[in-house]
Amino acid sequence: MSALIKSSLARKVVMALSGLFLVFFLGQHFVINITSVIAPDTFNSWSHFMGYNPLVQYLLQPILIAGVIIHFVMGFALELQNRAARGVRYVSYKGSANSSWVSRNMLISGAVILAFLALHFYDFWFPEMAYKYIEVNPEDPTRYLVETAHKFEPMWRTLLYIIAFVLLALHLLHGFASSFQTMGVNNKFSSGIKTFTKIYAIVIPLGFIFIALYHHFNPITH
């Protein structure tokens, strides 16, 4: 039993650390993407830098992909472990009386977000890899805004992104604050951290939704 507890705690810590890393990346990703609305030239410049800088491409990008894999693998492993530990569920158990819907369905929201990431890779990462390493096209620092806006022209894709970001917000509302709890953050700053995580969990996904809708309703024709 002691070994099981230690194993579960270790997995929670790994999931919390990888989650905090991904939250940081999400914020950085948003800062870049919002410039596609307010400063297109800056968006092209930053996107080109991220796409061709060796440090980003060969160090940070693999770390990011590893962080995504680790976070979701740990999440699924913990959920399966928790279900096995509960054993037979009591008929009279009412989950809503003890926890929120979000906290009881982190596996569902996580699975949908994972599917969204697969779509995001299909829409942006794979074409980028093909452009640079398969087709071996010349560098074009001005192509990023057009390519990004083009992806949001179909309504069905825009709606998929909106749904994914709504679920991401729900996932963050519980997971972001829980990561700090898992790391043992319990001091005079805890209330402020909890408030910050809630604001972040709402504002950042809403910002991404705004970006998707903006490009859908303002297509680039050239």
130 inside domain = yes
Please answer whether residues 33 and 208 qualify as being in contact, where contact means their C-beta atoms are separated by less than 8 angstroms.
Answer: yes
Q: What is the pLDDT of residue 6?
A: 53
5 inside domain = no
15 inside domain = no
Cα–Cα distance for residue pair 185/222, rounded to 1 Å: 51
Alpha-carbon distance values, 171 to 18, 44, 50, 189, 210 (Å)? 14, 30, 27, 22, 19
112 inside domain = yes
Q: What is the pLDDT of residue 1?
A: 47
- Regions of the chain short of the pLDDT cut 50: 1, 4-5, 88, 90-93
Provide the number of structural domains found in the chain. 1
- What SS3 class is residue 108? helix
Domain span including residue 189: 21-83+105-217
Q: What is the pLDDT of residue 119?
A: 87
Q: What is the pLDDT of residue 12?
A: 85
Instruction: Give phi and psi for 91, each to the nearest 5.
Output: -65, -35
User: How far, rounded to the nearest angstrom, does the alpha carbon of residue 211 sit from its chain's CA centroid?
Assistant: 16
Q: What is the pLDDT of residue 67?
A: 92
Using CB atoms within 10 Å of the CB of residue 15, give its burial: 0 to 12 exposed, 13 to 18 middle, 19+ buried: buried
